[in-house]
């Protein structure tokens, strides 16, 4: 397989003004007829380039006609899945008849079966698995879709836009016609047919139009969509109020499907969701999952403007819609709940997973310069770092100018397929802020490191901060240019009071530094004593920060900083410092021992009843295995785990009475509600229980078991079960078995059980995981189940990183099996193996040899790209 390059982009030689599709649905062979109203693209002038349409190996061509003249075999050819027609008029109607086999489609791209329904997934290049087409986002067309099916089995038949006709064929099949008036690329096409239940609602837009809202699921799940429906209405209102964006069709539909490669898909007027991202009920869904449902419903809805009305010119511009839409959904969730909690969660995820991607062999810019398989570029870099870029623009412009920029962007480009440069240009034109250097964020990969030093001149009351920026080399990018980085900063006195200071004539308690040079100094005046700097408040840029904070400074920031994010960040840094000492001791084979300052910090935290319990829970949460691995070179997985367990136990023993008190104080006694206040109490109570259970306390063991047995909601029941499993509770095995028995008819809960079971950290981990894959609850066709078991196993230090390499070998075996069946899922499973260069030498060699073993197979483009780049 070969790469394609952004620099080679050219406009499409042909356009498709109208697309008429007809599907005669059948599980084994569906007949697809397309009538494409095409013309040569005028930007090419008089051209004779042939017409080349994209298809797939699973599309069987029956016949081609041009303006109703059936083309003889010699007038077209199919080469490498492309249909090539040499002689065409300047404008014509092309008719194609193709056959596809939905029930044999295990890739879950194009048209496929999930349970007893038909559904589609066309982003990025799935439409070509349905029929021959110009399958690229800059070809936008008005679609009319006819669905023909047996109504007794498929009473619900949906596509984009509005239903405009319904009738019967001579054979008694039902015919439904849908028309979408908004031109769209093929990746936004959708079709669903099945025996589905529906929940109806309405939304009145700001201009008083009535929009019908419908959520479809299989009938046994329809009682779990109320939360998603409310979240949808909140999202629609928020987008009107925050961005002035109103929904444009008369109907908005969402369908839940069980088999789906990703979370959800924003098809115009007909979103399709992985059921795990839509369904919610107190008994079966945890607080985290409720919040995820709300965020994903919002994300897909927001795409109606940032993605559908204004779409991407080409797939290199993916972050144009994804980065912006993630930023929009993050802000929405922050507005609905606690902004600080949301920011901590988002940053924690970014620093753990995106930073690791940026430091690995698949590192790429937010706007990649090349790819072999675009599905591999739906990454944390494109999504999460892309959102950070939009957030930095927001910081640089301020709220009002940012809104002016987004208004200009939507007005200027409505109905167009555009680039990241167009987005930045709109922001710059509307605000007058120069973003020319800032644009480097889109093209430079790697996480910049800021090294900060400071000096205080007592006589002049002057405090000088010097910041050096450095972005490490990444594949294909050996050297980097300085970026324009907004650094939000505040200063504290020794008592933790916020200090006012002057910088470049502006006096304030907080400043935004514009770091543009490789090294730059900033002078703050008007200070009586040496301050403690609170750097990078709110994580104002996606960078690594290096400043030599003392433990005293960190304790001060942790207790007193007016920036909630930095209070959390200081606690994390203190924990990282202590864990690093312990990891070093473990690597040297020494007995672990530490004089922990965190004990004092936590003690004060637990005594302060005025704090937001959700924030306290986050501060108490030690940096996880993945984050500690990201900041370690080389990685010693077992020693990191040992250090974490040691520190957690030390804190648990020292503060056992405090954790017990907090556990009792924060029990929510009212009926379950997924609202911020209750979520906050549950999170603190369960973090407290997880510590208390680490202390050798009979009462704690009992509390875990009691919570597991009596909980009336999944958050508490699953928290107790996880604590039991991870703290080696003597009833853990019985509890796991009881949990499965209780929930075996609820697939989404069974997935949680699969994941927890696979993550059990013990010597038999591998045989447990093999047993899970042979369990009747497992299904290799279902990505959620594969992700649960293999994802859980990936977090299992003892099992996955077993010294003999058997964990790596097992994962490689699964990748080889899935490579042909579902290339997208197989490729994502490779991620843990791509970190081989960072592991300690003995493990590194074993991982590498598994990558080489995979490479010897006949690989899909998806897996080939990840494996070759990892081995390069």
Q: Which stretch binds ligand HT7 (CB under 6 A): 295-303, 602-610, 740-748, 840-848?
A: 295-303
Neighbours of 45 (CB within 10 A): 7
Q: Is 372 in the site for ligand HT7 (CB under 6 A)?
A: no
Pairing between β-strand 485-492 and β-strand 510-515 as defined by DSSP bridges:
antiparallel
Site string for Zn ion, 32-61 (x = CB under 5 A): ------------------------------
Q: Which secondary-structure segment (H or E) carries 540? A: none
- In angstroms, rounded to a whole number, what is the distance separating the alpha carbons of residues 315 and 23? 27
Q: Is 300 in the site for ligand HT7 (CB under 6 A)?
A: yes
Binding test (CB under 6 A) with ligand HT7, winner from 4, 99, 262, 855: 262
Bridge partners, 157 (sequence order): 193
Three-point CA angle 302, 304, 307, nearest 5° = 90
- Which is nearer to ligand HT7, 372 or 855 (by Cβ)? 372
* Binding residues among 706-735 for ligand HT7 as defined by CB under 6 A: none
CA distances, 274 to each of 225, 253, 325, 575, 737 (Å)? 13, 14, 18, 37, 27
Binding test (CB under 6 A) with ligand HT7, winner from 124, 735, 766, 839: 124
Q: Which does 286 bind (CB under 5 to 8 A by kind): Zn ion, ligand HT7, none?
A: none
- Which is nearer to ligand HT7, 366 or 773 (by Cβ)? 366
* Nearest approach, Cβ of residue 350 and ligand HT7 (Å): 16
Q: Is 306 in the site for ligand HT7 (CB under 6 A)?
A: no
Q: Which stretch binds ligand HT7 (CB under 6 A): 67-75, 256-264, 482-490, 715-723?
A: 256-264
- Which is nearer to ligand HT7, 357 or 553 (by Cβ)? 357
- Which is nearer to ligand HT7, 285 or 827 (by Cβ)? 827
Residue 313, helix vs strand vs coil? coil
Residue 866: name the closest of 819, 817, 797 by CA: 819
Residue 87, helix vs strand vs coil? coil
Token pair for 542: 């996606």
- In angstroms, rounded to a whole number, what is the distance separating the alpha carbons of residues 860 and 853? 15
Q: Which residue has the tokens 């009596």?
A: 710
Q: Is 757 in the site for ligand HT7 (CB under 6 A)?
A: no
- Which is nearer to ligand HT7, 214 or 822 (by Cβ)? 822
* Binding residues among 529-558 for Zn ion as defined by CB under 5 A: none
Q: Which does 148 bind (CB under 5 to 8 A by kind): ligand HT7, Zn ion, none?
A: none
Backbone φ and ψ for 205, nearest 5 degrees, come out as -75, 175
Token pair for 280: 């919610």
- In angstroms, rounded to a whole number, what is the distance separating the alpha carbons of residues 798 and 767? 12
Q: Is 330 in the site for ligand HT7 (CB under 6 A)?
A: no
Bridge partners, 18 (sequence order): 37, 142
Token pair for 167: 């009738």
* Nearest approach, Cβ of residue 624 and ligand HT7 (Å): 25
Q: Is 417 in the site for ligand HT7 (CB under 6 A)?
A: no
- Choose, from 123, 300, 578, 630, the residue flagged as catalytic: 300
Which residue number places its CB atom closest to ligand HT7? 262
Q: Is 114 in the site for ligand HT7 (CB under 6 A)?
A: no
Binding test (CB under 6 A) with ligand HT7, winner from 266, 314, 329, 422: 266
* Nearest approach, Cβ of residue 264 and Zn ion (Å): 8
Q: Write the CB contacts of 760 (distance below 8 Å, at least 6 apart in sequence).
A: 725, 768, 796
Q: Is 698 a catalytic residue?
A: no
* Binding residues among 460-489 for Zn ion as defined by CB under 5 A: none
Q: Is 239 in the site for ligand HT7 (CB under 6 A)?
A: no
Residue 833: name the closest of 845, 853, 848 by CA: 848
- Which is nearer to ligand HT7, 299 or 337 (by Cβ)? 299
* Nearest approach, Cβ of residue 312 and Zn ion (Å): 11
Binding test (CB under 6 A) with ligand HT7, winner from 34, 95, 121, 306: 121
- Which is nearer to ligand HT7, 264 or 541 (by Cβ)? 264
Q: Which secondary-structure segment (H or E) carries 176? A: strand 174-184
Q: How many residues bind ligand HT7 (CB under 6 A)?
A: 15
Q: Which secondary-structure segment (H or E) carries 529? A: none
Q: Which stretch binds ligand HT7 (CB under 6 A): 93-101, 164-172, 298-306, 748-756?
A: 298-306
* Nearest approach, Cβ of residue 325 and Zn ion (Å): 5
Binding test (CB under 6 A) with ligand HT7, winner from 25, 192, 265, 554: 265
Q: Which does 180 bind (CB under 5 to 8 A by kind): ligand HT7, Zn ion, none?
A: none
Q: Which stretch binds ligand HT7 (CB under 6 A): 87-95, 257-265, 395-403, 791-799?
A: 257-265
* Nearest approach, Cβ of residue 315 and ligand HT7 (Å): 10
Cβ density class 312-344: b for 16+ within 10 Å, e for less: bbbbbbbbbbbbbbbbbbbbbbeebbbbbbbbb
Cβ-in-10-Å burial (0-12, 13-18, 19+) of 711 comes to middle
HEC-encoded secondary structure of 107-142: CCCEEEEECCEEEEECCCCCHHHCCCECCCCCCCEE
Q: Which secondary-structure segment (H or E) carries 59? A: none
- Which is nearer to ligand HT7, 380 or 464 (by Cβ)? 380
Q: Which secondary-structure segment (H or E) carries 145? A: strand 141-149
Q: Which does 828 bind (CB under 5 to 8 A by kind): Zn ion, ligand HT7, none?
A: none
CA-CA-CA-CA torsion for 609, 611, 612, 614, nearest 10 degrees? Answer: -80
- In angstroms, rounded to a whole number, what is the distance separating the alpha carbons of residues 689 and 17? 61
Q: Is 258 in the site for ligand HT7 (CB under 6 A)?
A: no
**297 neighbors 244 (Cβ within 8 angstroms):** no
Site string for Zn ion, 304-333 (x = CB under 5 A): ------------------x--x--------
Q: Is 322 in the site for ligand HT7 (CB under 6 A)?
A: yes
* Nearest approach, Cβ of residue 79 and Zn ion (Å): 33
Binding site for Zn ion (CB under 5 A): 322, 325
The catalytic residue positions are 300
Binding site for ligand HT7 (CB under 6 A): 121, 123-124, 261-262, 264-266, 299-300, 303, 322, 375, 378, 824
């Amino acid at each position: 397989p070969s790469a394609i390059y952004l620099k080679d982009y050219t406009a499409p030689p042909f356009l498709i003004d109208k697309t008429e599709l007809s599907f005669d649905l059948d599980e084994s062979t569906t007949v697809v007829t397309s009538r494409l109203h095409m013309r040569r693209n005028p930007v090419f002038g008089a051209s004779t380039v042939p017409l080349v349409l994209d298809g797939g190996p699973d599309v069987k061509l029956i016949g081609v006609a041009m303006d109703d003249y059936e083309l003889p075999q010699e007038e077209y050819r199919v080469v490498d899945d492309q249909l090539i027609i040499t002689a065409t008029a300047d404008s014509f109607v092309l008719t194609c008849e193709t056959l596809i086999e939905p029930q044999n489609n295990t890739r879950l791209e194009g048209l496929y079966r999930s349970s007893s329904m038909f559904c589609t997934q066309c982003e990025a290049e799935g439409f070509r698995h349905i029929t021959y087409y110009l399958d690229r986002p800059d070809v936008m067309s008005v679609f009319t879709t006819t669905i023909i099916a047996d109504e007794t089995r498929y009473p619900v038949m949906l596509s984009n836009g509005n239903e405009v006709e319904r009738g019967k064929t001579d054979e008694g099949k039902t015919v439904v016609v849908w028309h979408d008036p908004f031109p769209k690329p093929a990746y936004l096409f959708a079709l669903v047919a099945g025996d589905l239940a529906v929940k109806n609602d309405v939304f009145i837009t700001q201009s008083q139009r009535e929009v019908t809202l419908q959520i479809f699921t299989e009938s046994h799940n329809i009682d779990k969509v109320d939360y998603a429906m409310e979240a949808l209405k909140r999202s629609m209102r928020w987008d009107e109020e925050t961005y002035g964006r109103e929904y444009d069709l008369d109907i908005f539909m969402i369908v839940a499907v069980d088999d789906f490669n990703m979370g959800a898909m924003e098809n115009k007027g007909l979103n399709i969701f992985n059921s795990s991202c839509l369904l919610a009920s107190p008994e079966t869904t945890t607080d985290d999952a409720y919040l995820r449902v709300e965020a994903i419903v919002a994300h897909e809805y927001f795409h109606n403007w940032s993605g559908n009305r204004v779409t991407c010119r080409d797939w290199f511009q993916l972050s144009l819609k994804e980065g912006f839409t993630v930023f929009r959904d993050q802000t929405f969730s922050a507005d609905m709940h606690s902004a600080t909690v949301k920011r901590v969660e988002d940053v924690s995820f970014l620093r753990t997973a995106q930073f690791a991607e940026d430091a690995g062999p698949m590192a790429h810019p937010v706007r990649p310069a090349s790819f072999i398989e675009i599905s591999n570029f739906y990454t944390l870099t494109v999504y999460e770092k892309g959102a950070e870029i939009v957030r930095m623009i927001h910081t640089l412009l301020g709220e009002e100018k940012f809104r002016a920029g987004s208004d200009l962007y939507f007005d200027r480009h409505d109905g167009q397929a555009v680039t990241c440069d167009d987005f930045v240009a709109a922001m710059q034109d509307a605000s007058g802020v120069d973003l020319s250097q800032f644009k480097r964020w889109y093209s430079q990969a790697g996480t910049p490191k800021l090294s900060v030093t400071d000096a205080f001149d007592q006589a002049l009351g002057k405090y000088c901060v010097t910041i050096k920026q450095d972005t490490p080399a990444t594949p294909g990018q050996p050297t980097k240019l300085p970026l324009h980085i907004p650094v939000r900063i505040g200063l504290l006195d020794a008592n933790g009071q916020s200090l006012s200071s002057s910088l470049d004539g502006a006096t304030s308690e907080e400043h935004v530094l514009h770091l543009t040079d490789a090294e730059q100094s900033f002078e703050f005046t008007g200070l009586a004593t040496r301050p403690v700097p609170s750097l990078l408040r709110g994580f104002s840029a996606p960078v690594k920060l290096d400043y030599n904070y003392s433990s005293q400074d960190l304790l001060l920031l942790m207790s007193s900083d007016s920036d909630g994010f930095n209070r959390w960040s200081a606690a994390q840094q203190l924990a990282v410092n202590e864990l690093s000492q312990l990891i070093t001791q473990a690597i040297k084979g020494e007995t672990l021992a530490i004089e922990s300052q965190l004990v004092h910090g936590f003690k004060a935290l637990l005594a302060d009843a005025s704090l937001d319990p959700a924030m306290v829970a986050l501060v108490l949460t030690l940096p996880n295995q993945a984050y500690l691995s990201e900041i370690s070179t080389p990685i010693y997985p077992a020693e990191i785990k040992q250090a974490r367990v040691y520190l957690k136990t030390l804190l648990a023993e020292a503060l056992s009475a405090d954790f017990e008190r907090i556990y009792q104080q924060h029990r929510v006694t009212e009926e379950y509600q997924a609202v911020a206040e209750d979520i906050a109490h549950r999170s603190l109570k369960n973090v407290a229980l997880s510590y208390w259970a680490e202390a050798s306390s009979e009462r704690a063991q009992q509390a875990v078991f009691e919570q597991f047995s009596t909980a009336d909601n999944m958050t508490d029941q699953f928290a107790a079960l996880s604590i039991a499993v991870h703290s080696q509770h003597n009833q853990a095995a019985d509890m796991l078995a009881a949990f499965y028995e209780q929930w075996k008819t609820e697939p989404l809960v069974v997935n949680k059980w699969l994941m927890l079971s696979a993550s059990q950290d013990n010597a038999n981990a591998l045989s447990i995981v093999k047993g899970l894959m042979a369990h009747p609850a497992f299904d290799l066709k279902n990505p959620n189940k594969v992700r649960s078991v293999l994802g859980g196993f990936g977090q299992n230090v003892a099992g996955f990183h077993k010294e003999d390499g058997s964990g790596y070998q097992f994962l490689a075996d699964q990748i080889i099996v899935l490579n042909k069946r579902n290339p997208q899922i197989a490729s994502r499973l490779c991620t843990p193996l791509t970190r081989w260069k960072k592991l300690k030498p003995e493990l590194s060699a074993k991982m590498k040899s598994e990558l080489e073993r995979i490479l010897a197979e006949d690989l899909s483009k998806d897996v080939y790209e990840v494996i070759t780049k990892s081995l390069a």
